[in-house]
Amino acid sequence: MAAYCAGGKRSETYSAQSDWTPRFNCSVVIKSEALYCMSFDEMNHEGKVREAYTTVADWLAQTDIETLRERQVEAEAIFRRVGITFAVYGEGGDPERLIPFDLIPRVFSAAEWQIVDSGVKQRARALNLFIHDVYNDREIFKEGIVPTSIITGNDAYLECMEGFSPPLNVYTHIVGIDIVRTGPDEFFVLEDNARTPSGVSYVLENRSTMTRLFPDLFSSGQVRPVDGYPDQLRNTLRECAPPACKGTPTIVVMTPGHFNSAYYEHSFIADEMGVNLVTGSDLFVEDGLVFMRTTTGPQRVDVIYRRIDDAFLDPKMFRPDSSLGVPGLMEAYLSGGVTLVNAPGTGVCDDKAIYCYLPEIIEFYLGEKPILPNVPTYRCSEPDSLAYALDHMEELVFKEVHGSGGYGMLIGPTATKAEIKSYAKRVKETPRAFIAQPTLALSTCPTLVENGIAPRHIDFRPFALVGKDVRLTPGGLTRVAMREGSLVVNSSQGGGVKDTWVLNT
């Protein structure tokens, strides 16, 4: 079971004199009042360096802080040169900025990765079966396992998808599952991202930067590569070509444009797959098929990996004021003329109300127990859960059911009385819009910060690709809360990223 935050103080920065590792070469020691709640440290456990981190520990023992800082500056220069930015909204001035990149990797052993791999694949299969059921037979609702009101009251539900089955019955082809760790064998799913999960570009660029700066770390061949992801993605998209496609599918990545916060990722993915990056104005529909405008004339398009929200996809079907979409696109999709990835309407399983039922969903469709459990969750829509949550607000984390990016949260243990009172009013007004969860003691990983190397809380987002099979690249996006004591790792809230290693042993 998860270890929950119970308080306690610890020295913030690791040192050569600490029990963290006797070989570490950092002399900076900072006393801190930060509450890390005796979180599980991924590098050190019970006074010893964990076996998976041996290479990292040896490297840090042989590398002084000045060298690490020099390499950090080089990494930032690389990120700036290739344009790896992320918009942090709500900040003054230009919101485009470099996403913080930490040099010290997060490491999974082969055995640990097997748990993550099998659990994420199981979840991706169940999510797709659930979405198909939602828009077709609704067996899970007839059995009373999931209340119908969760769907009928969901803004992401699209009536136009009723009775429709996409190729291979795959709705969410790219799935990002957010996972937290609280102990050596304790992994929990924090959130499912089935609409348009972002962040895979950082997975690839983090590894590229690390191999450029520290090639010797990878010379043993023990770290599994991640550079096969673009080929796997392209193969997955080809497998889901529409019935109207008679040859090799033409694939495009559809972006809202360069003002979007994730535009870098859109262009990066298109480049890596060797396909065109398009906007809505580059496409048109004719006779139920989609075409791309090119200098040599119209070219048929079979698969669109779209990074545009449902509401803006087609002004004829959704928002008439959308200048980002393509008129008639949904008609072409529903008639089998093109495949949209991920499918419109996948947002029905992308909120935290459905998340609460994922263990039951997995058992219903797969006949299996969940490999990766949910974080214990209180559904504020239920009177008993609501009463408990409101009575224990200072202990819990509250989230909006439809929220994302770390916005709209209340972290009880760090909130003021005024903040708790204000948030309680919102919860009481619309209980169904909120869930509450215990404050997990997220694992920490050594991180290069201003005053040395210190523990920082992390989470993890692996990316599953769903086509004829479910594929998982051995790695993913490790996000790190750069601020001391913070549990909010989202890039949109100022969090950073780390390279993620999966070892062969």
Encode pLDDT of 319-359 as tens digits.
999 999 999 999 999 999 999 999 999 999 887 889 999 99
Residue of 247, 308, 305 whose CA lies nearest to 276: 305
Coil, strand or helix at 188: strand
Residue of 452, 420, 478, 396 whose CA lies nearest to 181: 478
Please state the φ and ψ torsions of residue 190, each to the nearest 5 degrees: -95, -30
Tallying the residues shown for the chain, one arrives at: 505
Confidence at residue 86, expressed as pLDDT on a 0 to 100 scale: 62
Confidence at residue 406, expressed as pLDDT on a 0 to 100 scale: 61
Please state the φ and ψ torsions of residue 444, each to the nearest 5 degrees: -120, 160
DSSP string, 457-476: EEEEE-EEEESSSEEE-S--
Question: How far apart are alpha carbons 75 and 68 in whole angstroms?
Answer: 10
CB neighbours of 375 closer than 8 A, spacing ≥ 6? 2, 180, 188, 189, 190, 437, 438, 440
CA distances from residue 76 to 85, 100, 198, 314, 358 in whole angstroms, order as listed: 11, 8, 21, 39, 39
Q: Dump pLDDT digits (tens) for 276-288.
A: 999 999 999 999 9
Check: pTM over 0.85? Answer yes or no: yes
Confidence at residue 408, expressed as pLDDT on a 0 to 100 scale: 80
Q: Which domains are seen in the chain, by residue range? A: 49-56+63-223+348-374+445-505 (no CATH), 243-337 (3.40.50.11290), 378-438 (3.30.1490.270)
User: Which residues of the chain register pLDDT less than 70?
Assistant: 1-38, 85-97, 403-406, 491-493
Beta carbons of 489 and 481 less than 8 angstroms apart: yes
Burial class of residue 369 in the structure, from the number of CB atoms within 10 Å of its CB (0-12 exposed, 13-18 middle, 19+ buried): exposed
